[in-house]
Amino acid sequence: MRCPECQSDQTKVIDSRQVEQGVAIRRRRICENCQHRYTTYERIETKALVVIKKDGRRENFEPSKIYNGIFQSAEKRPVTPEQIKELVKQVETTLRNTSSGEVTSDKVGDHVLEALSELDPIAYFRFASVYKRFNELSEVEELLRQFRKKGEDSEAE
């Protein structure tokens, strides 16, 4: 690792710690040439996750898009930004573990809805109304019936 001040490659690690719940390592370094101290981070390089849109286009997976959609759905609800970040991480991890690098936008939306149903029912319905593009009130009623049935099934267990 080169020193950002003098570009010397004579550096030494003086401290290492796990950060981001063990996903990264923070290293404090010192340049043996100029004594400049700086921090580096080491993370596992993950393969790109590509989302196949409904029209066939392919886009890189962007967690911020999910975060923004959920944030709008959860507006004025008792849902914290930290809970949304955790939900987005959970969805991304699930997608990375269950896909071969490509995933449909429908699958992304389904995973978000599943996670949202456990977090906040109103945010779930707000997100679903945009994601599923309801055209008829009967479609909303059907989603509500399915949601209630899922709740009854989980209570019976």
Kind plus residue range of the DSSP H or E element containing 96: helix 81-98
Confidence of residue 97 (pLDDT cuts 50, 70, 90): confident
Residue with tokens 């490659």, as numbered in its chain: 9
132's tokens: 């599923």
* pLDDT score for 79: 94
Q: Write the CA distances from 35 to 9, 14, 120, integer angstroms.
A: 12, 12, 52
pLDDT exceeds cutoff 90 at 55: yes
pLDDT exceeds cutoff 80 at 154: no
* pLDDT score for 111: 93
Percentage of the chain exceeding pLDDT 90 = 62
What is the rounded average pLDDT of the residues 69-98?
92
pLDDT exceeds cutoff 70 at 120: yes
* pLDDT score for 130: 85
C-alpha 81/C-alpha 74 separation (Å) is 9
Confidence of residue 152 (pLDDT cuts 50, 70, 90): low
What is the rounded average pLDDT of the residues 121-140?
86
C-alpha 136/C-alpha 151 separation (Å) is 24
Predicted confidence (pLDDT) per residue in 5-39, tens digit: 999 999 999 999 998 778 889 999 999 999 999 99
Kind plus residue range of the DSSP H or E element containing 41: strand 37-43
DSSP3 helix / strand / coil % (the chain, rounded to 5): 50, 20, 30
19's tokens: 């950060």
C-alpha 83/C-alpha 125 separation (Å) is 17
Exposed/middle/buried for residue 67 (C-beta within 10 Å: 0-12, 13-18, 19+): middle
